[in-house]
């Protein structure tokens, strides 16, 4: 179990990162920024967030071919390597490479293998009992399929990490709060019940990838173990947390996982250029607190987040809570603007509260109510709820 932080027994929290991850760059016209993890590392270092008992930076190793073949095919890995070397054939194009959202860039395969290796490093630290929490901000590539790149994702590190944990005999709950549906992870475990996937995301009616509806509940032995909570445009903190408390909290309690894998995409934040929710990072902070309250080890990854400064600040707050550095209120108020290298907000790591107007509140609340009831109807009976 992952104990609550205390002076006598701090949480053992590993931040998985290395300088090599900062050498790779998606093309400048691509919205995805691989540089976010390096900015986060520098921010946390400057704030002293790796000091004190129980917190450390763990260096990952690239995932080797054998590890990647646990989910991906040899043919696909060969295509990724060839694309990295500038060879992009018809087969690679059919696998989703060379598109706007999965561009070819220098070091593509090397970066993807290292980012996946970081999530596998996190999984090993938890499986071996060395860490209560392990956070890989360079992970969260939840759209990748065994033979297809999609949505900025080439290698599905979260599937690989979950497979590592199940291979070590762990029962895993994968909770994805990225604004996009975790379609690749859902597909990987759709027929299994040793991994429950729970995805909170903007509805596929208004956002890529157009999937993740309440009726997608799993198949065969996995029926009832795929949970989708599609959210309406404009979803705000209070409504989001109401849905989370009504659905995720009882399901986590019923499933009783050994490990919680948590994808912390920050693209649900208000102002993200690729999505339409209206969250503040306070909602993510509350989600993390609820996850930690179950007393289970947590493997956390990054994910989306296309307003870089907001994403880095949100992940810094996430690390503060995951590692036990934030004991209650805000952390280092007044330092946020300096540490984030931006003048947008100087109030610390936590965002300002955003109050919805009455029209937004009414529309969102009605849609959230319908979603809660629909998910309960589709899923709860499978778990005696």
Distance CA 110, CA 232 (A): 37
Catalytic residue among 143, 164, 181, 201: 143
CB-based contacts of 98: which residues, under 8 Å, 6+ apart? 83, 88, 92, 104
C-beta of residue 198 within 8 angstroms of C-beta of residue 227:
yes
Beta strand spans in 86-171 (E)? 133-136
CB-based contacts of 260: which residues, under 8 Å, 6+ apart? 172, 173, 175, 252, 291, 294, 296, 297, 298, 299
Distance CA 13, CA 16 (A): 10
Q: Is 143 a catalytic residue?
A: yes
DSSP H or E run through 58: strand 55-58
* Per-residue DSSP letter, 244: I
Distance CA 233, CA 225 (A): 26
Distance CA 321, CA 328 (A): 9
Query: Which of 289, 269, 294 has the alpha carbon at shortest distance from 279?
Result: 269
Annotated catalytic residues are 143
């Amino acid at each position: 179990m992952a104990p609550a932080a205390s002076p006598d027994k701090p949480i053992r929290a590993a931040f998985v990162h290395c300088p090599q991850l900062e050498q790779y760059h998606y093309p400048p016209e691509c919205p995805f920024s691989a540089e976010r993890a390096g900015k986060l590392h520098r921010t946390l270092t400057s704030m002293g967030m790796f000091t004190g008992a129980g917190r450390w930076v763990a260096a990952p190793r690239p995932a080797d071919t054998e590890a990647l073949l646990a989910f991906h095919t040899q043919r696909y890995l060969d295509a990724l390597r060839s694309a990295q070397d500038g060879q992009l054939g018809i087969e690679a194009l059919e696998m989703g490479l060379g598109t706007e959202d999965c561009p070819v860039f220098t070091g593509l395969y090397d970066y993807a293998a290292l980012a996946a290796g970081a999530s596998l490093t996190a999984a090993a630290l938890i499986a071996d009992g060395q860490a209560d929490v392990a956070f890989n901000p360079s992970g969260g590539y939840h759209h990748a399929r065994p033979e297809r790149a999609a949505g900025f994702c080439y290698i599905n590190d979260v599937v690989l990490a979950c497979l590592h944990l199940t291979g070590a005999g762990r029962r895993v709950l994968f909770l994805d709060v990225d604004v996009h549906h975790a379609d690749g992870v859902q597909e990987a475990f759709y027929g299994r019940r040793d991994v429950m996937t729970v995805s909170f995301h903007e509805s596929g009616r208004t956002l890529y990838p157009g999937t993740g509806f309440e009726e997608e509940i799993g198949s065969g032995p996995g029926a009832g173990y795929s949970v989708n909570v599609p959210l309406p445009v404009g979803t705000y903190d209070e409504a989001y947390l109401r849905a989370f408390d009504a659905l995720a909290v009882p399901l986590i309690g019923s499933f009783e996982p050994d490990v919680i894998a948590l994808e912390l995409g920050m693209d649900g934040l208000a102002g993200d250029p690729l999505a339409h929710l209206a969250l503040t990072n306070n909602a993510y902070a509350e989600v993390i607190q609820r996850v930690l309250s179950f007393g289970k080890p947590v493997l956390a990854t990054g994910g989306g987040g296309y307003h870089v400064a907001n994403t880095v600040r949100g992940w810094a707050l996430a690390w503060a809570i995951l590692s036990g550095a934030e004991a209650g209120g805000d952390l280092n108020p007044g330092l946020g603007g300096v540490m984030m290298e931006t003048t947008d907000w100087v109030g610390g790591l936590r965002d300002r509260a955003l109050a919805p107007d009455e029209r937004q509140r009414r529309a969102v609340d009605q849609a959230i109510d319908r979603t809660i009831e629909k998910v309960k109807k589709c899923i709860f009976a499978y778990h005696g709820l």
